[in-house]
Amino acid sequence: MSEKSRILYVEDDETLSFVTKDNLELNGYKVDHCMDGESAVETFFHNSYDLCILDVMLPKMDGFAVAEKNKGH
């Protein structure tokens, strides 16, 4: 992955989100973070990502449903 690689990170725990995002950014990735399934689908729809890291148990929509919706894009 190049330095410009973009990652969408979906996790509802604030602390874990902070630590993971911080580490990914330290390693040169550009990370967008979403707190729930619905906003993840919305963000994914309007942007282009190289990787999507999804939690399964999420508010509003679970990780599997998000993955299914994002498959088309």
Q: Reduced to 3 states, what is the DSSP secondary structure of residue 19?
A: helix
Minimum distance, C-beta of residue 41 to another protein, in the bound complex (Å):
13
Minimum distance, C-beta of residue 49 to another protein, in the bound complex (Å):
22
Burial (CB < 10 A; 0-12, 13-18, 19+), residue 20, is: middle
Minimum distance, C-beta of residue 44 to another protein, in the bound complex (Å):
18
Using an 8 Å Cβ cutoff, are 33 and 11 in contact?
yes
- Chain contacts with another protein (rule: CB under 8 A): 12, 15, 18-19, 22, 37, 56-64
Q: Is the Cβ of residue 27 or residue 47 nearer to another protein in the bound state? A: 27
